[in-house]
Amino acid sequence: MSEPARESRTGGVRSEDALGIVGAWIWIVIATAAYLWQYRDMTGLILGALGFGV
């Protein structure tokens, strides 16, 4: 599958690709944090299971 060229003639990254890359990073960070956030109430239990009496 061929992709359109991403390098501009000046050697920089095209603006729409840059937007996609930044958006992807933001998505990864927020989604990972949101996923982990639901386990915040289990921190003590998990540390306990690992042998750290909490």
Among the listed residues 9, 15, 34, 52, the single contact to another protein using CB under 8 A = 34
Among the listed residues 10, 15, 40, 50, the single contact to another protein using CB under 8 A = 50
Q: How far apart, in Å, are the Cα atoms of 18 and each of 13, 21, 48?
A: 6, 5, 44
- List Cβ neighbours of 14 (8 Å cut-off, separation of 6 or more): 6, 7, 8
Q: Reduced to 3 states, what is the DSSP secondary structure of residue 53?
A: coil
State yes or no: residue 43 binds another protein (CB under 8 A).
Answer: no
Residues that bind another protein (CB under 8 A): 1, 3, 6, 13, 17-18, 20-21, 23-25, 27-28, 31-32, 34-39, 42, 44-46, 48-50
